């Protein structure tokens, strides 16, 4: 069982991802904006952070960059879950330190498989 | 007479003040009603949200009031737009049992563009169930609805709709190529077969776009069709072929590039540079 933090402002998407991760046996924390997400990450040091890109207060890319700049998150994996699907968006996210990238609309089965793969590293 | 005019003015002033007051009151009441309506809708959505997860898990044995069911139908249709694969199939199957598709299709024939657009955006994740209707909307009289129809094809990922979508960049009711490209990229087909005969379309703009997108999507099974574009009479198609050959990066394309007639066109020199690039690897 891993601790997974989901930072996603859309309540419907958040509910779905939480549901699937709990079904997979993970402990799940949630936040609805980037600033709160950073706070929750610092408090819990999760194994995996699933980050939306476009969020209020601080966007997912900023959060990703901030997490990667902090040595206490060296073992935390980051998965971006976003509607931004352009090649340059994916490049930017990976350059900011994301370990993987899933584009919306997404398959929850694929999301779980990618999360499992990241957590097994 | 002198006394009547000030009296009349006062009465008119008073009447105007009363009307203004009533209008202000109406605005406040309207705002309060809308706020309350939104609050109730949000509460209803929160109440039925767990049921969307039940539908995804295959459990649809719930008994709801008419309003809760309507909220659930709307929420399920919105969620179907965020997901794909098994999750979308589960939601669209359930929505079909709720006559959702039939209602949307009926509204998509409305004389009002806003109603058609709203119904279309709700129906988008299920577009593959009624490709003919979506195809008609790619030719809708309203430009906004046409663009929305293109986006719906992208969201649904319907293979049957990709060729008409690509062809929609031409004609009197054309959809901007940028929107069509985004929709095809969003659909992310994994085989060139989805492009149908647009790769040999007599219209060079359609053919060039299809070839360009095949390259952007890295459809390696389309290499031959992409290479065939080098023989086109249109420089737009030839340029698109070169771009896509470069994206695929296969040394197998060298033979096709070397068959290009010797001339001084920019494409010829690009092809020569590309041959070197592919051979060096």
- Would you call B54 an interface residue with chain A, using a CB distance cutoff of 8 Å? no
**Interval A28-74: pLDDT, tens:** 999 999 999 999 999 989 999 999 998 888 899 999 999 999 899 88
Residue B262: predicted pLDDT: 63
Binning chain B into helix, strand and coil, the percentages to the nearest 5 are 75, 0, 25
Residue A50: predicted pLDDT: 94
- Could you write out the DSSP letters of every residue in B155-224? HHT-STTHHHHHHTTSSTTPPPHHHHHHHHHHH--SSGGGGGGGGG-SSHHHHHHHHHHHHHTT-GGGHH
Residue B158: predicted pLDDT: 80
B103 CB contacts (<8 Å, ≥6 apart)? Answer: B119
Interval B6-34 mean pLDDT: 91
Pairing type for strands A3-7 and A77-82 reads unpaired
Residue B4: predicted pLDDT: 64
Residue A6: predicted pLDDT: 94
- Could you write out the DSSP letters of every residue in A8-59? -S-HHHHHHHHHHHHHTT-EEEEESSHHHHHHHHHHH--SEEEE-SS-SSS-
CB pairs under 8 A between A and B: 49
Distance between CA B162 and CA B227 in Å, rounded?
Answer: 21
Residue B163: predicted pLDDT: 92
Q: With a cut of 60, say whether residue B1 has pLDDT above it.
A: no
B108 CB contacts (<8 Å, ≥6 apart)? Answer: B116, B119, B120, B123, B133, B137
The answer to whether A75 and B50 are in contact (CB under 8 A) is no
- Give me A7's structure tokens: 């930072």
Interval B166-189 mean pLDDT: 90
Q: CA distances (Å), B106 to each of B109, B153, B173, B175, B225, in order? A: 6, 19, 22, 24, 40
Distance between CA B138 and CA B86 in Å, rounded?
Answer: 27
Distance between CA B94 and CA B80 in Å, rounded?
Answer: 11
What integer best gives the mean pLDDT of chain A?
90
> How long is chain A?
121
Residue B169: predicted pLDDT: 93
Residue A4: predicted pLDDT: 94
pTM here?
0.70
Nearest to A73 by CA among A117, A120, A41: A41
The answer to whether A21 and A28 are in contact (CB under 8 A) is yes
Q: With a cut of 90, say whether residue B16 has pLDDT above it.
A: yes
Token match 């657009």: residue?
B117
Measure CB to CB from residue B81 to each of A105, A107, A110 and give the nearest one.
A105
Burial class from Cβ neighbours inside 10 Å (0-12, 13-18, 19+) for residue A25 reads exposed
pLDDT band at B28 (very low <50, low <70, confident <90, very high): very high
Interval A83-110 mean pLDDT: 86
> How long is chain B?
281
pLDDT band at A8 (very low <50, low <70, confident <90, very high): very high
Residue B42: predicted pLDDT: 84
What integer best gives the mean pLDDT of chain B?
86
Nearest to B210 by CA among B184, B231, B175: B184
A21 CB contacts (<8 Å, ≥6 apart)? Answer: A4, A6, A28, A112, A115
Strand partners for A51: A7, A80
Q: Is B49 in contact with A10 (Cβ distance < 8 A)? A: no
Q: With a cut of 60, say whether residue B43 has pLDDT above it.
A: yes
Distance between CA A12 and CA B50 in Å, rounded?
Answer: 10
Q: Is A12 in contact with B52 (Cβ distance < 8 A)? A: yes
The widest CA-to-CA distance across chain A, in whole angstroms, is 34
Alpha-carbon distance B159 to nearest alpha carbon in chain A (angstroms):
17
Q: Is A16 in contact with B86 (Cβ distance < 8 A)? A: no
Q: With a cut of 80, say whether residue B66 has pLDDT above it.
A: yes
Nearest CA in chain A to B77: A12
pLDDT band at B264 (very low <50, low <70, confident <90, very high): low
pLDDT band at B203 (very low <50, low <70, confident <90, very high): very high
- Would you call B11 an interface residue with chain A, using a CB distance cutoff of 8 Å? no
């Amino acid at each position: 069982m891993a601790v997974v933090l989901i930072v996603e402002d859309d309540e419907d998407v958040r509910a779905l991802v939480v549901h699937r991760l709990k079904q997979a046996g993970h402990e799940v924390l949630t936040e609805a904006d980037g600033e709160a997400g950073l706070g929750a990450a610092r408090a819990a040091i999760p194994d995996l952070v699933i980050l939306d890109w476009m969020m209020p207060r601080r966007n997912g890319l900023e959060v990703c960059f901030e997490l990667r700049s902090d040595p206490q998150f060296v073992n935390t994996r980051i998965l971006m879950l976003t509607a931004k699907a352009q090649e340059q968006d994916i490049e930017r996210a990976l350059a900011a330190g994301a370990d993987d990238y899933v584009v919306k609309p997404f398959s929850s089965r694929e999301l779980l498989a990618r999360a499992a793969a990241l957590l097994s590293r | 007479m002198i006394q009547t005019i000030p009296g009349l003015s006062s009465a008119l002033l008073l009447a105007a003040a009363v009307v203004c007051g009533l209008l202000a009151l109406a605005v406040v009441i309207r705002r309060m009603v809308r706020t309350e309506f939104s609050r109730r809708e949000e509460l209803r959505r929160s109440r039925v949200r767990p049921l969307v997860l039940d539908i995804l898990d295959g459990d649809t044995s719930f008994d709801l009031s008419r309003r809760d069911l309507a909220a659930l139908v709307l929420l399920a249709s919105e969620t179907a737009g965020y997901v794909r694969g098994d999750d979308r199939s589960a939601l669209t199957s359930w929505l079909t049992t709720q006559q959702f598709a039939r209602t949307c299709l009926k509204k998509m024939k409305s004389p009002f563009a806003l109603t058609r657009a709203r119904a279309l955006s709700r129906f988008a994740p299920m577009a593959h169930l009624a490709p003919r209707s979506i195809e008609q909307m790619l030719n809708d009289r309203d430009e906004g609805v046409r663009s929305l129809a293109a986006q719906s094809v992208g969201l649904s990922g319907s293979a049957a709709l990709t060729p008409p979508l690509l062809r929609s960049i031409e004609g009197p009711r054309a959809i901007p190529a940028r929107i069509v490209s985004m929709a095809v990229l969003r659909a992310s087909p994994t085989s060139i077969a989805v492009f149908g005969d647009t790769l040999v379309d007599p219209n060079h703009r359609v053919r060039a776009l299809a070839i360009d997108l095949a390259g952007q999507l890295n459809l390696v099974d389309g290499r031959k069709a992409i290479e065939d574009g080098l023989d086109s009479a249109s420089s737009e198609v030839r340029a698109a072929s070169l771009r896509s050959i470069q994206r695929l990066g296969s040394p197998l394309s060298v033979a096709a590039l070397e068959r290009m007639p010797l001339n001084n066109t920019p494409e010829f020199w690009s092809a020569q540079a590309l041959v070197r690039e592919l051979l060096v690897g």
